[in-house]
Chain A
């Protein structure tokens, strides 16, 4: 009826009706007064005032009732709605049957309420989602207030640490650290960065067990940037660490086993000579055969020498390498090695070549170490030639070449042979201690020692090889000697020290 009319018209109508009513009452009362004229002026005035007051009261009352109906009632309902929203009753709606401004207000209110309601649903969904991520993570997730009290822990933390969340929330975070100082140490790092990643530390579970964890710590900030706490996400690595140490242990045993096998293998060949020689000595003595005695004794001595050599090599292997650096003229050093070896090579039918670049600079290195490395590789090269059947087109050849690299920063000594070469498998093992392809020569330590000696010079040994084609060993040394800033510790620390 009245619901389709705008407030302005409604109030206008009420106003007009009120005025009209006022005048009607006055008119009516005036009529009554005229019918019975007053006896005095005072009475007349009194009646007039009475009529005006009455008219005002009646028309005012009428206006009041309508204004209340049209304005207060919808305003109250709006206020009630607001209250409901404030109390998080997002499903509350206002009636929209009125088509006036309050009707539109109600509609707007309802729209707002439903928008709020759906965004609250959305928010809740997001929160539930995030919570379920936190909850289902196997990592230990803990948030801590700025004062260091535990604020939230997830199921992963409960499982790993043995605490229920209600018994731990509010406790100081230090109780979870095996060493409470560790927490300060981790927090200290947060002074310089907003997060600390993979800080290795230890937590203590409720029943006192120590767990190794990798802790990643970040500051929690509110949208305006103020710190509102920290969040720590820790990964329990106790099992990994245990497995790792087991692995290291078993690798250690394997390495020891390998060393023993290697030693035994090398010793066998040396003992073989001793045993055979001793037999000849015994027979020589028993039957008074001087020649046999002498030959036998010589074999025994060779065996003893080999064993001595091996023990020296073993000592060399475990010893700490500190190169005595000096400016070394490699032309001299290589020429000397050439002179020492060329005769032996010739006797075995092998040609030995020496090519030295004329622009050979001096190199900072330990002359004795480099000498021993080159000797070792050259003698391997000679052996490789002995192990190959050469056809008529090819002659056994070992060549030594030395040259500085183009950038003039490194120095290369190449030792190349056209001997038996190596399979990939052999090649990958040549620097392994006690690995040997030779049944009786050497101890299987030569190249491992060589590699460490070159290592302490900051250099490296590169190897190329092909079965039955030959091998190429490149000793690469930095011209200025080892870089003191990044020492290659591989050899610096002896295994014995």
Chain B
């Protein structure tokens, strides 16, 4: 039976090409367009892996991710997070004051806080962050590494 992968992103294009790529590589792909829908589909479909976008309306990827990790039934589902600012995440642990990134300070702070909160709660970090623009082949490769074909 094909392994099930859920893609949650408010950007239709991303959902479209990622599901196409996954299906092309023999996975069963499900798309969801916001955090709320994403949580419902995870609960109903019990996917083998979830790909979550960080920046989503209504429920950000981090909020959704924490709900998964707190849920006994869902907490072992591997998660890949998509972000437009993965380079921000690279130095999340290090205090950095790169003045050139002022406009994104709030986002960076929010992420730093989310990760810190998760760590404080004893939650496991997402398995992987992938930066946008996403290379579908890279995503497939990583999915394969995490859950096999």
Question: Which residues in A have some Cβ–Cβ distance to B below 8 Å?
Answer: 254, 257-258, 260-262, 265, 268-269, 271-277, 279-280, 283, 287, 292, 295-296, 299, 302-303, 383, 386-389, 420, 423, 425-426, 429, 432, 434-440, 444
Residues A439 and B20 in contact, CB atoms below 8 Å apart: no
Binds A, one of B11-19, B37-45, B72-80, B120-128: B11-19
Residues B84 and A292 in contact, CB atoms below 8 Å apart: no
Residues B20 and A257 in contact, CB atoms below 8 Å apart: no
Cβ distance A354 to chain B, nearest Cβ, rounded Å: 25
Residues B103 and A277 in contact, CB atoms below 8 Å apart: no
Residues B57 and A261 in contact, CB atoms below 8 Å apart: no
Residues B36 and A389 in contact, CB atoms below 8 Å apart: yes
Q: Say yes or no: A386-B13 contact (C-beta < 8 A), given A261-B101, A276-B136, A292-B20.
A: no
Interface check B134, CB cutoff 8 A? yes
Residues A432 and B103 in contact, CB atoms below 8 Å apart: yes
In the assembly, what is the distance between CA of A275 and CA of B21, in Å? 12
- A440's partner among B11, B58, B103, B131 (CB-CB below 8 A) is B11
CB-CB under 8 A from A434, the residues of chain B are: 103
Q: Say yes or no: A258-B137 contact (C-beta < 8 A), given A280-B17, A299-B17, A389-B36.
A: no
In the assembly, what is the distance between CA of A438 and CA of B59, in Å? 14
Q: Say yes or no: A283-B103 contact (C-beta < 8 A), given A295-B16, A299-B16.
A: no
Residues A260 and B100 in contact, CB atoms below 8 Å apart: yes
- B13's partner among A277, A292, A389, A438 (CB-CB below 8 A) is A277
Interface check B135, CB cutoff 8 A? yes
Residues A272 and B134 in contact, CB atoms below 8 Å apart: yes
Residues A276 and B100 in contact, CB atoms below 8 Å apart: no
Cβ distance A268 to chain B, nearest Cβ, rounded Å: 5
Interface check B99, CB cutoff 8 A? yes
- A279's partner among B21, B101, B103 (CB-CB below 8 A) is B21
In the assembly, what is the distance between CA of A437 and CA of B103, in Å? 9
Among residues of B, the one whose C-beta sits closest to the C-beta of A433 is: B103
Q: Say yes or no: A425-B106 contact (C-beta < 8 A), given A275-B135, A277-B13, A388-B58.
A: yes
Residues B17 and A439 in contact, CB atoms below 8 Å apart: no
In the assembly, what is the distance between CA of A423 and CA of B132, in Å? 26
Q: List 18 A-B contacts (CB under 8 A).
A: A254-B100, A257-B100, A262-B103, A269-B133, A272-B14, A273-B11, A276-B17, A277-B13, A279-B21, A283-B21, A303-B13, A386-B57, A387-B58, A389-B36, A439-B53, A439-B84, A440-B11, A444-B103
Residues B13 and A273 in contact, CB atoms below 8 Å apart: yes
CB-CB under 8 A from A272, the residues of chain B are: 11, 13-14, 132-134
CB-CB under 8 A from A437, the residues of chain B are: 107
Q: How many residues of B contact A (CB 8 A)?
A: 36
- A276's partner among B18, B24, B131 (CB-CB below 8 A) is B18
A-B contact count (CB 8 A): 114
Cβ distance A265 to chain B, nearest Cβ, rounded Å: 6
Residues B20 and A295 in contact, CB atoms below 8 Å apart: yes
CB-CB under 8 A from A287, the residues of chain B are: 24
In the assembly, what is the distance between CA of A42 and CA of B20, in Å? 172
In the assembly, what is the distance between CA of A437 and CA of B107, in Å? 8
- B134's partner among A275, A296, A423, A439 (CB-CB below 8 A) is A275
Q: Say yes or no: A299-B13 contact (C-beta < 8 A), given A283-B20, A387-B57.
A: yes
In the assembly, what is the distance between CA of A254 and CA of B105, in Å? 14
CB-CB under 8 A from A435, the residues of chain B are: 103
Among residues of A, the one whose C-beta sits closest to the C-beta of B99 is: A254
Residues A283 and B24 in contact, CB atoms below 8 Å apart: yes
Cβ distance B53 to chain A, nearest Cβ, rounded Å: 7
CB-CB under 8 A from A295, the residues of chain B are: 16, 20
In the assembly, what is the distance between CA of A438 and CA of B36, in Å? 18
CB-CB under 8 A from B55, the residues of chain A are: 438-440
Q: Say yes or no: A271-B133 contact (C-beta < 8 A), given A254-B99, A292-B20, A299-B13.
A: yes
The 7 closest A-B pairs by CB, nearest first: A257-B100, A276-B17, A439-B55, A272-B133, A387-B57, A271-B133, A435-B103
Instruction: Scan residues 53-72 of chain B and give those whose CB is less than 8 A from a CB of chain A.
Output: 53-59
CB-CB under 8 A from B102, the residues of chain A are: 254, 258
In the assembly, what is the distance between CA of A423 and CA of B136, in Å? 35
Cβ distance B100 to chain A, nearest Cβ, rounded Å: 3
CB-CB under 8 A from B20, the residues of chain A are: 280, 283, 292, 295-296
Q: Say yes or no: A279-B136 contact (C-beta < 8 A), given A258-B103, A292-B20, A386-B57.
A: yes
Interface check B92, CB cutoff 8 A? no
Instruction: Scan residues 77-131 of chain B and give those whose CB is less than 8 A from a CB of chain A.
Output: 84-85, 99-107, 131
Q: Beta-carbon contacts of B128-149 to A below 8 Å, as 1s and 0s?
A: 0001111111000000000000
In the assembly, what is the distance between CA of A383 and CA of B106, in Å? 19
Cβ distance A431 to chain B, nearest Cβ, rounded Å: 11
In the assembly, what is the distance between CA of A268 and CA of B54, in Å? 15
Told that A276-B14, A383-B57 touch, could you supply 6 new A-B pairs with CB distance under 8 A? A257-B100, A277-B13, A279-B135, A388-B58, A425-B105, A435-B103
CB-CB under 8 A from B132, the residues of chain A are: 268-269, 272
CB-CB under 8 A from A296, the residues of chain B are: 17, 20
Among residues of A, the one whose C-beta sits closest to the C-beta of B140 is: A279
In the assembly, what is the distance between CA of A265 and CA of B21, in Å? 24
Residues A268 and B13 in contact, CB atoms below 8 Å apart: no
B17, B105, B134, B137 interface centre (most CB from chain A within 10 Å): B17
